[in-house]
Chain A
Amino acid sequence: MELNVELIPERMPVVVAFAESAAKTAGLAEAETTMLALSTEELFLALCSSIPKAGITVRFHDRRYAADLLFQVPQPPDLRIFNITSRPDHETEVGLAEMGLFLASRACDQFSIRQMELGGWEIMLRKERSYPAPVQQSQPHPSVQTWQLTTTPAPDAVKQFSTLIADSYAACQFPEEFTPPGRLLDKLASNEYGIILAQGEQGELAGGLIWHADEGRMVACFGPYLAAPAEPEQLTIALCEKLAELFGRSNRLGLVLYAPQQPPVAAGFEAAGSLAIPGGTIWTGYRMLTEEFGADAAVAAELLPFYTDWCSSMALARNTRTYHDDGETGNGLTLFATRLNRSTGMARLTPLLVGRDAEAVLEEHLHLLDQEQFSAIYCTVDTGRPFDALLAPHLLKRGFTPRMLVPWGGTGDLIHLHRAGGSR
């Protein structure tokens, strides 16, 4: 489904009708449809004021578990509207841009902007479907002696796996979208997620893992989650090697494993750091898929000890330059993409642009996130984008610590920083 429309406020009803029919097609419930429609309305008006009369294309992408509305615009709108800290201010007379997209950033599950590879910009609104609460039906898992791997398990096996995860692992050890079973099945059907299951001769579940390949060059992997295999280490190796095999000849550069146990070295994963999250610790493992030839890296002096330590343990060849702020003109403004997960209290800030106002914009974001009780805040800096280094000192000053390194996770390597709640 696709709609070509001019950015004039009179066209709004057409766009909203398009959003509503998209939501229906994707099977969203009434409340979710309304949220998507309201967010669409808000975004459309903001675009009308930012790039009046431009012709845009609105596309609908049915992800099964969510409806995506993609607004493709020929030139960048005023980017300030994307910072979630831009809020409606009815006291003073400010432009729409200053107000920000209050609803879109809160009522939708994902709200983001990206520059399209071959020209133009794309703004996405994603609204996810809601699923019935899981019916607890814990079954005992018999010990499985010999197993086979499958990447296309029957829906029933996936449901069993979802239940196994929910019953046997702490909530912090798996992304919430792996339950309830209906949602996991829809995620798998969208093809952005995949699964590898190990089953015994009678189809008994031995364990498995789930991967998620989004737009980046990494594949995020979760698990292995094991039932009762006779040889857990061997099953772990088999599952992880199958995963590397699946992506070995792909355009992906690496696998990032979020594991409930220490990352399995014998299965090809290197320790990449650990993340403290509400309720526990997640071990992370990294596996490069390609042969790398080394790279230049720009790193803030404050992060240098962390970065060089990890480069040495991961045997990364890096030509590291310490980035100094010599006052040169950089980007005009700072822009964060923000992903919020209210149920786990986690927030992730990804700097899209880092400019001279970085400190102030960061401060505003943290203030807002504190107010809204987010207890774990993550931020990444990219060694391939020198201006990101400007942000690092401000992050450290505000209680962030570097926790994890993902080589080639961005333009260069991604350093994940984390601030646990109340540690300011």
Chain B
Amino acid sequence: MNLCNLEALVPQYVRQFEAYIPSPPDEELQQMFGCSRLIRMNNNENPLGPPPAAAAFLRSFDPALVSRYPSGDCSPLRAKLADYLGVKPPQVILGNGANEVIAFVIKAFCEQGDNIVTADRTFAVYEWIARFSGVDARLAPLADFGFDEEGLLARVDSRTKLVFICNPNNPTGTWWSRDRLIRFMERLGPDHIVVLDEAYSEFMDQPDYPDGIALLSRFPNLIIFRTFSKMYALAGLRIGYLVATEQITDIVRKTAIVYSVNTLAQSAALAALGDQAFITATRSLVQDGQQMLAAQCAELKLPILTSDCNFAMIKLPFSDTLAYRLLMQQGYMVRTMTGFRFPGWIRVSIADRDAMQGFCAALSRLIHSRTDQSLLAKTYGVSL
């Protein structure tokens, strides 16, 4: 059948949208780039693998169970999460990764003509889902690498339904303190919903880093996102969640897809949750990795943004996409930041010690082979 009229069937905002192309499997990439092994440092994964209890559960899982549907609303896990977070179970909604939860929220609150407000250089999925849903994404430039209160407020109008704050921000690692968040909430007022994406909150070890959930009673227009993909190392199982007031979750539940979180993910998350020893071990690995990177960048005179998060941003004296290709040839996959509107920067996820050492050596070879550094140093005020 010739779908001659397909053009007429597709909304303009979908037609304009470019589908995301995920990377091919490792073997294919290794063959293309001629490297014998590939270390992925592009998705901010936890190199330790899942916490021991989750790993043990996965090893002992009875395959016969997969013929049955999972709990449609993740009730055992919600009960445990609610208890752990100090909220009631109906205040928690789980999804197939925090990404799916973003879609639930945008679908629940936005219609065509509405807008969302966020930063220009942050996690892309808020902007993407808004755009392919026909909702305008208004973007406030970051100020000094962090979310800019004034810029965000200036873009809010009566059609603004959601303001997305990534705290800490992916990719810069910058974050708002508790006071700063409270001031923003007060200035914004109760007429818009603020989504606080805390995908990396478990990495944060700062006394004034706010716990969004603790602010729900004061600001009922808050929604908090968390994920099991980052600290808890369950990215491949796809599970994330939101926490909000019951008034809000009653609405979001209408647009949430039931049964979208699979049995393995629910039980592995249940086993993983709250493993403090694991969290401490991960934080210490991240700290070591950040220090190694910072030392290497100091030696190479490269500007770097480090934080408590499991990633760092490095400014290169040439194209980040070129650097990506050259690092791929050496077996290291990083995230180019042009797609985050930070041309010339790469984001590197913290990996285990061996991989970090290997990466530092690869970075050093790359810089020495490709640069005249004086100009960069001048431009970014790094002394040589």
Residues of chain A touching chain B, judged by Cβ–Cβ distance below 8 Å, are 74, 116-120, 233-234, 237, 241, 244-245, 248-251, 265-266, 268-270, 287-294, 314-317, 319
Contacts and interface: CB of A to CB of B under 8 A. Distances in A.
Interface residues of B, number: 43
Given A117-B7, A250-B18, 14 more contacts: A119-B2, A119-B3, A233-B375, A234-B379, A237-B375, A237-B379, A245-B338, A245-B341, A248-B340, A265-B318, A268-B318, A268-B343, A287-B321, A317-B34
A407 B360 CA distance: 28
Q: Which 9 A-B pairs have the closest CB atoms?
A: A294-B32, A244-B343, A251-B18, A118-B7, A288-B321, A315-B325, A268-B319, A118-B6, A248-B338
B32 A319 contact: yes
Interface string B315-331: 00111111011101100
Interface in B329-374: 329, 335-336, 338-344, 372
Contacts of A250: 18
Contacts of B59: none
B132 interface: no
Contacts of A120: 4
Contacts of A270: 318-319, 322
Contact of A293 (B3, B23, B322): B23
A116 B339 contact: no
A306 to B, nearest CB: 19
16 contacts: A74-B4, A234-B378, A241-B343, A244-B344, A250-B18, A270-B319, A288-B321, A289-B339, A291-B324, A293-B24, A293-B32, A314-B322, A315-B322, A315-B325, A317-B32, A317-B33
Given A118-B6, A290-B339, A268 B320 contact: yes
Contacts of A266: 317-318, 372, 375-376, 379
Nearest to A292: B325
Interface of A is mostly: loop
Nearest to B338: A248
Contacts of B317: 265-266
Contacts of A117: 7
A288 B18 CA distance: 17
A158 B136 CA distance: 29
A49 to B, nearest CB: 24
A248 B339 contact: yes
Nearest to B23: A293
Contacts of A249: 124, 127, 339-341
Interface of B: 2-7, 10, 16, 18, 23-24, 28-29, 32-34, 124, 127, 317-322, 324-326, 328-329, 335-336, 338-344, 372, 375-376, 378-379
A233 B374 CA distance: 11
A387 to B, nearest CB: 24
A248 B341 contact: yes
B343 A119 contact: no
Nearest to A269: B319
Contacts of B318: 265-266, 268, 270
Contacts of A314: 322, 325
A244 B33 CA distance: 25
B4 A119 contact: yes
Contacts of B341: 245, 248-249
A269 B28 CA distance: 28
Contacts of A317: 32-34, 325, 328-329
Contacts of A288: 319, 321-322, 325
Nearest to A242: B343
**Residue of B2, B124, B336, B344 with most chain A CB atoms under a 10 A cut-off:** B344
Contacts of B338: 244-245, 248, 289-290
A68 to B, nearest CB: 18
Nearest to B2: A119
A251 B378 CA distance: 33
Contacts of A268: 318-320, 322, 343-344
**Residue of B34, B127, B321, B329 with most chain A CB atoms under a 10 A cut-off:** B321
A288 B336 CA distance: 11
Contacts of B5: 119
A290 B29 contact: no
Contacts of A118: 3-4, 6-7, 10
Contacts of B326: 315
Contacts of B378: 233-234
**Residue of B6, B24, B343 with most chain A CB atoms under a 10 A cut-off:** B343
